[in-house]
Amino acid sequence: MTSAAATLPDAPETLARARIICATRLPAGCGIDELDEGRMSFDGTRFLLRERGFSICYTQAEGLYAQLDDPGQRGRMELFLDGSVHAAIASLAGLYPLHASAVTLNGHVIAFTGPAGAGKSTLCAALARRGLPFYADDTLVIDPARAALACLPGHKRLKLWPEGLALAGLQGEELVAPDYPKYFAQAPVHAQPAMLPLGALVFLEEGSQFSFAPIGGAQRFARLNDDHYTAMLRNRAGRPDAGALFARQAMLARAIPMFRLARPRDPAQFETMLDQTILALDGIARA
pLDDT tens-digit series, residues 70-99: 998 988 898 888 888 888 888 888 888 999
For position 148, what pLDDT does the model report? 78
**Residues in a beta bridge with 19:** none
Percentage of residues in the chain having pLDDT higher than 70:
94
What CA dihedral angle connects 152, 228, 170 and 16, to 10 degrees? 30
For position 278, what pLDDT does the model report? 96
Q: Quickly state the pLDDT bin for 5 (edges 50, 70, 90).
A: very low
List CB contacts of 238: < 8 A, sequence separation 6 or more. Answer: 44, 45, 91, 92, 94
For position 227, what pLDDT does the model report? 62
Which range has the top average pLDDT, 168-177, 227-236, 244-253, 271-280?
271-280
Lowest pLDDT segment from 3-17, 150-164, 177-191, 248-262? 3-17
Q: Output 49-57 pairs: Cβ under 8 A, ≥24 positions apart.
A: 49/80, 49/84, 49/85, 51/76, 51/77, 51/80, 53/77, 54/80, 55/26, 56/26, 56/80, 56/81, 56/85, 57/26, 57/27, 57/30, 57/31, 57/32
Is the distance from CB of 46 to CB of 57 less than 8 angstroms? yes
Residue 9 pLDDT more than 60?
Answer: no
Residue 258 pLDDT more than 90?
Answer: yes
Is the distance from CB of 104 to CB of 196 less than 8 angstroms? yes
For position 187, what pLDDT does the model report? 86
Domain with CATH 3.40.50 in the chain: 96-286
Mean pLDDT, residues 170-182 taken together: 86
For position 125, what pLDDT does the model report? 94
Ranges assigned E (strand) in 20-173 = 21-23, 39-42, 46-51, 54-59, 63-68, 96-98, 100-105, 108-113, 134-136, 140-143, 150-152, 158-160
Residue 4 pLDDT more than 90?
Answer: no
For position 14, what pLDDT does the model report? 67
Q: What is the CATH number of domain 96-286?
A: 3.40.50
Rounded CA-CA distance 211/248 in Å is 30
